[in-house]
């Protein structure tokens, strides 16, 4: 028996103010999350992004083409209820940040890492007060608790929607510092993606690219760019730290 596939049942999609938030309606009825909460988001630009996804659906609903809606669902149904755990998980990336683990060779890769990653660690020390240590190889690099706490502070200021977007910035890049650099305007998402891929791109230059791996990387890059756009749409309502 074939699985059930949701089909389009609406004609008109609208963004409707709801107090200080914004709801998305389908023929006047509010969109709801998988747990049946009303889908209400904190900024109009992000609400319009969600509305465009619903308006752009064909006869059959395709959740894979609705990243903003998925993020809103996650923020409402999951992150709000587990905010402390989400902050803790994301903050833990600082203790093993990608930028702190350097290759022992070859010299060409070492130089690329230094040129690409050192300026971000300098920014972390100056702008965030987190002066992270760097090591070579796979042995753990110990970080000072005070530095890790200072990396955590911007996360504590984020609401559930910002955290949901920030989650993808960090997990897709493998770096809390890169995620913060995008969220705080130090880097573009494209720059962060390139810097997160220094090791992989070097290996591709040396040995060639696997087609399946390239397709997976393209999907991850698109998801990172989406996350950066959504985070920017969700943050103008207050000054960034």
Q: What is the pLDDT of residues 186-215, one digit of tens each?
A: 999 999 999 999 999 999 999 998 999 999
Mean of pLDDT values over 160-173:
98
Task: Give me the percent of the chain exceeding a pLDDT of 70.
Answer: 95
pLDDT digits (tens, 9 = 90+) for 80-92: 999 999 999 999 9
Over residues 160-184, mean pLDDT = 98
Q: How far apart are CA 124 and CA 59, in angstroms?
A: 48
How many CA atoms within 13 Å lie on the side-chain side of 54?
24
Q: Is 26 helix (H, G, I), strand (E, B) or coil?
A: strand
Per the prediction, the chain carries an average pLDDT of: 94
**What pLDDT digit, counting tens, does each position of 9-37 carry?**
899 999 999 999 999 999 999 999 999 99
- The mean per-residue pLDDT over the stretch 153-177 comes to 97
In the chain, the domains with their CATH numbers are 13-79 (3.30.2180.10), 83-234 (1.10.3580.10)
Condensed to tens digits (0 to 9), the pLDDT of residues 120-139 reads: 999 999 999 999 999 998 88
């Amino acid at each position: 028996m074939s699985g059930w596939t949701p089909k389009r049942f609406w004609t008109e999609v609208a963004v409707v103010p709801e107090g200080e938030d914004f709801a998305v309606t389908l023929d006047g009825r509010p969109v709801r999350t998988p747990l049946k909460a009303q889908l209400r988001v904190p900024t109009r630009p992000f609400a319009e992004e969600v509305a465009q996804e619903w308006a752009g659906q064909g006869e059959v609903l395709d959740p894979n083409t609705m990243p903003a809606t998925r993020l809103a669902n996650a923020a409402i149904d999951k992150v709000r209820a587990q905010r402390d755990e989400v902050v803790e998980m994301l903050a833990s990336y600082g203790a093993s940040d990608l930028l702190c683990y350097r290759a022992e060779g070859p010299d060409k890769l070492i130089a690329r890492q230094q040129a690409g990653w050192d300026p971000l660690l300098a920014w972390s020390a100056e702008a965030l007060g987190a002066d992270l240590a760097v090591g070579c190889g796979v042995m753990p690099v110990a970080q000072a608790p005070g530095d890790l706490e200072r990396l955590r502070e911007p996360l504590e200021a984020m609401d559930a929607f910002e955290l949901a977007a920030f989650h993808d910035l960090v997990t897709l890049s493998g770096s809390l510092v890169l995620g913060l650099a995008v969220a705080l305007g130090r880097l573009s998402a494209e720059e962060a993606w390139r810097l997160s891929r220094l090791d992989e791109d070097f290996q591709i230059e040396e040995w060639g690219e696997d087609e399946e791996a390239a397709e997976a990387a393209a999907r991850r890059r698109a998801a990172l760019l989406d996350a950066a756009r959504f985070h920017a749409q969700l943050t103008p309502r207050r000054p960034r730290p």
